[in-house]
Each structure stands twice: as C-alpha cells, then as structure tokens.
Chain A
Amino acid sequence: MATIQALTDQLKKKFANAVTGVENPEATQLFIDIKKDKVREICNEVIAQGGRYLVSVGTDYLAKDGTLGLIHTFAFDKEHYFASLRTATKEMEPIESITPDIPNAGWSEREYMDLLGMKFTNHPKPKKLVTADDWPADIYPLRKEVPFNIKPLAAENVAYQLDECPDGCSIVPFGPYHPTQHEPAHFALFVDGETIKGSDYRGFMIHRGVEKLAQTQISYNEIPFLAERICGICGSVHAASFSQAVEIAAGHKISRRAEYIRTIMLEIERVHSHLLWLGVAGHLIGFDTVFMQAWRVREPIMWLCERLTGSRKTYGMIVIGGVRRDITPELKQDILNVIGTIEKEMVTIKNAIIGDTAIHRRTKDVGYITKEDTIKWSLVGPVARARGVDIDARRDQPYAAYDEMKFDVPVVDNCDVWGTVLVRVLETFEAISIIRQALDKMPNDGPILMPFDDALPAGRHGITAVEAPRGEVTHYVITGEENRPERWRVRAPTYPNLQGVPMMLLNNQLADVPIIIGSIDPCFSCTERMEVVDLRNGGMKVMSQSELEALSRNKG
C-alpha cells in the first residue's frame, strides 16, 4: 500500500542506479524512467508494493534516438493512481521478459515482438500473436517507417504451430468460425473423452490496425469515433477513455455537466450490455428463453439511446472536451421512465434466475479459478469480482462524475461462472441507481463541449481506466505532432481476461466450453482493434447473387 511518494522513494532507494527520472504531472499519474536491465526486478517490486499489472505499451523512437520504448503500466487501486515504468532498448538488443512473474504480460510482449520487432529473453511462449502466419519476418507494422496500408504478398504453406497436445488427448477445434464465439478466434481444445486437459489460443485473425490508423491517418477529434468502433457493445467506453487520456495528457478540464452526461451514457451502456450478456449466456447453455426474454427487456434501452444520441449503438456522443448532445428535461424524464421499467423487469429476471436450479446445475463449479490465480493473472471486471477480487475502476480510479456517486461494487467469492452471472445481475441494479443519482445531481448549466483553443503539446503521456461492462478498459496516449497521437494503446478487458480462459477451461467438460468462454463476455474485436472501411465507391449498392459469388470466388 504505497502512495506515490512512498513508491518513488522505495524504488529510488532500492534501485538507485536504475531509476533515471520521475515525473508526476497529475495526482493520478506517475511516470518512472528506468534502465532496461532492471525491468523485471523493478516490476516485481511494484507488484510487491501493491501494484496491479495493466498493460505494456511499446513505442517506436527509432527515428528520434534509435530506441524502442516499452512502458509497463500498473494501477494502485487503494491510492487511486497509475504508475508507468518507462524503459527503452536499442533495436536489436533484447529486454528481459516480465511474463514469468506476471503471466498477463505475455500477450503484450508477444504483440511487440510481432509489431515492433522487440526481443525478449526468457519469454515462456515466444510465438506469433498478432500478425498473420504468412506475414514477412522483417516487416514490423507498428514502426513509424512502415506505411499504414502496406500489403505484403501472401505466402504459401505457413501455419501456426499449436502447442503440443498432451498424451492420450485428442484435439477438438473451437473456431475460427464457431457459433459459440460469433467472431473469428481459434481455441484448440485438448480433450480426454469430454474432459479438457489443455488448450491453445490463436486469435487476432481480424486485426484491424486501429492504433496504426490513428497514429498516421486521422486527427485527435476524429479518433473518438474510431475508438467507438473498436467494440460494438461498449462504444462510449472506448470513446470516453480515449478522450479522458488525451484530456489528462493535455491537462484539459471539461465541464461538470459534460462529465455527468458521460456518466449517464456509460451506465446506460452497462445496463444494456449486461442484459445482452445475460441473453447470450442463456443461449450458450442451451436456454434460449432466457436469451429472448433478456433481449426483449433490453430493447427499450436501445430505443432510448436512439432518442438520446441519434443511433441505437455507436452513438458518436463522447468527444475530446465533452459530449455532443445535451440531455433535455424531456429526455431526462424519458430516461427515468425507461430505467424504471427495466428495473421492474430485472427484479423478475433476477428472481427467476436465482430460483432456477437448472441454471445452477450448468454454471456452479464451472470455470473455477481461485482468487490467488485471478490476482496473479491480473484478470479484471466481473470475472475478477466473481472470484472475490474487489476492483472497480469507477471507485478506484474515479473519472467523469463517479466521485459523487454512491454505489456498491458487488463481489462474490464463488470463483465460477455462476458468480459472474450474479455479479452482472447485481451490477445492473447499481447502474440503474447511478443513472438516477446522476440525473438528480446533474448541474443545469455549463457548456457540454469545451474544445481546445491551441494545438496539444507533444510528448505528453496520459493513462486512464474506464470500467466497461466487461471490465476495465485502459487507454494510454502519448501526444504527438501533426494533431494526432504519437502512440495510442488500447487495452480492452477481454485482452487480460482471455488469457485466463485456458485456466478456467482446465478439467471442465466440453459442454461447458461455450459458457466459460462466454462468461468473460469476450469481445474479440475489442482485443483485435480492427476497422475495415471501403473507400473505393463510397455509396451503397445491392449486389446480385451472381455478383456476390463472383466476388467471393475471386477473393474480392
């Protein structure tokens, strides 16, 4: 339990030679520059001081000073701040992997092997993660000199090598296209009979290069709209967290009213997302009635969102400096009516679910992991809260108007899928209560949008976390020149949670796979951060069957 001061003192004392600089621009932000040969030890020390690993950010400074930067970020939940350890390495020099101690860093490090050409020593699984299997070995797409629209030639006869299948087990493939997942991702399950003895994951098949696009093609004010398209469900969350990260980096303060409107949007999103998840979870255990009923209850929220923002999803509401539409008194009454109905129906649903022994049979003791493992693997959101880990970015790292809201963070210690059901149902009630409070306390005046007067200063760092329905979203922004960020790193909640799935799957039945994968509410598109835009013709065209067939046969 270390305050910013205590942490810096401790690190300076223990690693006097390795700590080269400390920066503390805001009360919630701490940046420590360290030398690369002590990375692993310092990271361990930060964990020992109570830090929770978030994400690693790789940056390319080759053009400036011939180095590749690596930033390991940690959250201190009790003290409400983020600590980032910044280090740098020469192009070909390896850096020590922190994955053996912090397993969740595995993907981040593999990502930078692929995207930036970093080298890591002692990485337990140095396989490809992001780039395609036939991607050339000497092109690192996130480097500055590589153009955003590079299209290397396809190679033949290359395939991802799955992990070794244990003796006596056979492989059941889940994916890349499987009804459980709704998005392409491949789980190879090693099964003995119907019992799962291991698994390997190969995803990132639809990696969209959103970060690269934002760093090379579009400007600050456009990125929130791109950020919304990272995820089809938690759009406002990504837009809000990107905007916040930029605002923090630039020291820009937005109006209180805008913060309240952001809070309302984020909570509306949580209500609809949890209802959506509940439906999907029902479907995954073969209980379509839950699915249909939950989605029926959800529908009024979608209509409400259309009245609030103009669209059912992907609202385009939150931008840097505030929000784009106001909540009028009529809309306020509308919101109150809708959430009142939802709350009533949620009570029925809650009682039905809690009383249904059939659902208990399918979800209890399924996907079990202990609290210790959950902490060790840095899992977030309802997945962690169902395992007794009391974290919630809304309370721990307050943003928007959450510092004035009163709410409980439901935590249960079932450590299984049933726990995540329970947590999500209870959270829906909390979200409804937060919306009521926010509507009640919202200041009546103040501009909703406060644009920037001048260009943003370059080279400033900002990190923020927003509690999305599925867990904590972390955005890291380094401001740059040309009115766009130098580096923007998105870490959606699925990114850490998906790394915990193999552990949850272990020793469960094949029939439980859908609900276990589903219990983290996976959002592969969040994890893969892709965007496809067809710029060629702009307009829409209805294609005939023969045209479509020709298109698919000639591979577009």
Chain B
Amino acid sequence: MTRISARYLGKRLVVSYLTLLVIMSLLFVLIRSMPGSFIGSMITPELDQADIQQLRETWGLNEPIWRQYIDFMLNYQTGDFGRSPTYKAPVWDVIISRLPRTLILFGAAFIVQFIVGPLVGMYLGWWRGTRKDKSIFTSSLAVYSMPAFWLAWLFIWLFNYELGWLPSTYMFTKFAQFDWTVVTIVTDVLRHIALPLISIAFVSWVGAMLVMRPAMNNVTSEDYVFLAQAKGLSERTVMIKHAARNALIPVATQAIVGLAFLLDGSVIIENVFSWPGLGQVIVTSVLSRDYPVSQAAFFMLAVLIIVMRLVTDIAYTYLDPRIKFGGD
C-alpha cells in the first residue's frame, strides 16, 4: 500500500460508489421500461379487479414511480433487496444461494483463462512473425470465434452422450445415494464442473492471449531485455523473468474485459448445463419481469466488476513500480 496515497484511494472509492448509484438508477429505469410486469404471471381467472388492485398494493406497484425509485435506492444502501414474487423468498436468499455456485465455476474459469492465455501469449509474442506464431495465432482466433453454447453442445455430445464419461447437468448428482463425506462431495462436484469449465475455458483464454502477445512483443525491444541477453542468461530466463513480467501490465487491465466476457458466458453456459447459478437467475428473472431479483442480480454483477476494476488498478502499482497514483 505504500505507493498508493490514502487520498487517491478515497477519491477512487467515492467515484466507484457514485458510478454504482448511476448504474442502479439506469437499472431501475431500464428494467421498469420492459413491457409487462410480474403481476401478469400471478393473475388467475378467479381474481377480480379488487384482488388485482390488492396484489399491486402488496408489491408496491401502486406507489408513484418516484416513490418506488427512492425506496429502491434507499433500501439497497441498507442491503434490503426486498422479496421475490416468483421465487417466493427474500431476494437476498435467492441471490446468495446462487452466487457461490457462479463464483466456483467462473472463478475456476477465470484462473484457467489467466494461466493459459498469458502463457500462450508470451510464447507467441516472443516468437512473433515466425510460422509457429502465425499458425497458432490463426487457429486460436478460430477457436475464439466459436459460439460458446454450440461448443458446449459438442462437448456434451461427445463426453456425455457418446462416451458417458461425465455428467452434463447440475452441480451435484440428484438423489445421490452415496455417503456424504468431503471426498465424495468434492469428486462429485469436480465431475459435474468438468464439462462447463472446459467449455468456457476452451474459448475464453484467447482474450488474454490477444493482449499478452503485442505487449510481449513490445518489451522484447527494450534495453533491459538486450542487457539480460548480453549477460548470457538463457533464452527462457529472459523470456519469463525479464520480459513477461512487464508484459503482464496490460493483461491486468484485460482481466476486467475477460471477467465481463466470462459473465456473458455464464448466462449461456449456465443455461446449457442447467448450472444453478446467477447467470440462469438473471435470464429467467428478466424474462419473467421479476423486478426485485433482476435488479439485485445486475447489482451484484456491477459490484463485482467495479470492485475488480479497483483491484486491478492497485495491482498495477505492484507489477510496475514506475506507476504511481496520487503521488503529486
């Protein structure tokens, strides 16, 4: 923390908070602009007009819109997300029971992405312009162009349908009869996570590679790399210890874009694999006009992205001692 002044950190925190407020306002407007409302799914033929009015009253839809907005903004400050009309439970419970599952799957994918991507990018950037580079680069772009859900179907077809090696739905075996020990649970989850993880990671590492490759190529012409080479250090040492370390800086920025890419993937991949995570909740709640849940889910994702942006900015200073925030 030595290189970051408290004043800079404070300013960034305030700006991040204000950004979040703007995002929340946008969400409120956008989600309420969708035609229809969740009341529609509750109306049954037995209900008469008075009952419908009663329903609207219960869910606070009769209040003037500015009142609803203020309530929404104030309630979120205190962590009160309201109740979900479709899940019949507090929104917080709906979100919090799904969030860990999304975090497990996409945390794993994030780690794989940022190990494989920079490694391949480092290799290609170091050998830029050679045939090795060109052929690997071209084929990885082709991989990057595959629709994620289509690839997932191919994997399910091969590994689940044809070979029967791995399960393709849910996070646990349903109605499992095994002993619930830590080992069996972990292996069960690992078996279930394998296919979704492969499907995401197979495509998404390319994003990190695309940033690492030119960054690596830029540092290869720096003096300190020549110096290291002149000292007689081995090619591999120079590449990994001297060049790659500095090429990682733009990759840290890319981490945000990569995260957003994964969140997009989460919507699709969770649907394909019936993975009971946040991405699935977002789609169903938006489509069923479940305002409280969709607002909260978007809110959680926005918080995640904003926090990650802050973290990468701070990580910069450790990767590159030349960068100094708020020093002057």
Check if A and B associate: no
**Residues of A bordering B, CB below 8 Å:** none
**Residues of B bordering A, CB below 8 Å:** none
